[in-house]
Amino acid sequence: MSETFADVWDAIEDTPEQAANLKARGALMREIERWTRDSGLTQTARQLGITQPRLSDLMRGRIDKFSLDALVNMTGAAGLKVSVTVGRHAA
């Protein structure tokens, strides 16, 4: 019998907590990447408070290189609003 998952993070991570962390980091990275592409700014890395190589890691989706805290700080520096929703797992 095959197991089904709500999304890829649930399938590849060992615990629901690890999957939730990666989901949050992935969502923040996508929004920062979108902002970076849409901003048209030439000093995007500087505005985010990071180096150009670090921005390249973000743009390449290197999720393992970024903590949730660092990504929240970058969204704030970009003028983006972060919102958190907490709910219960289905029984």
Q: pLDDT tens digits, residue range 30-76? A: 999 999 999 888 889 999 999 999 999 999 999 999 999 999 999 99
Its pTM stands at 0.81
- What six digits make up the tokens of 62? 């290197």
d(CA 2, CA 47): 46
First-last CA distance in the chain: 21
- Return the CATH number of 8-77, one of 1.10.8.60, 3.40.50.150, 1.10.3720.10, 1.10.260.40: 1.10.260.40
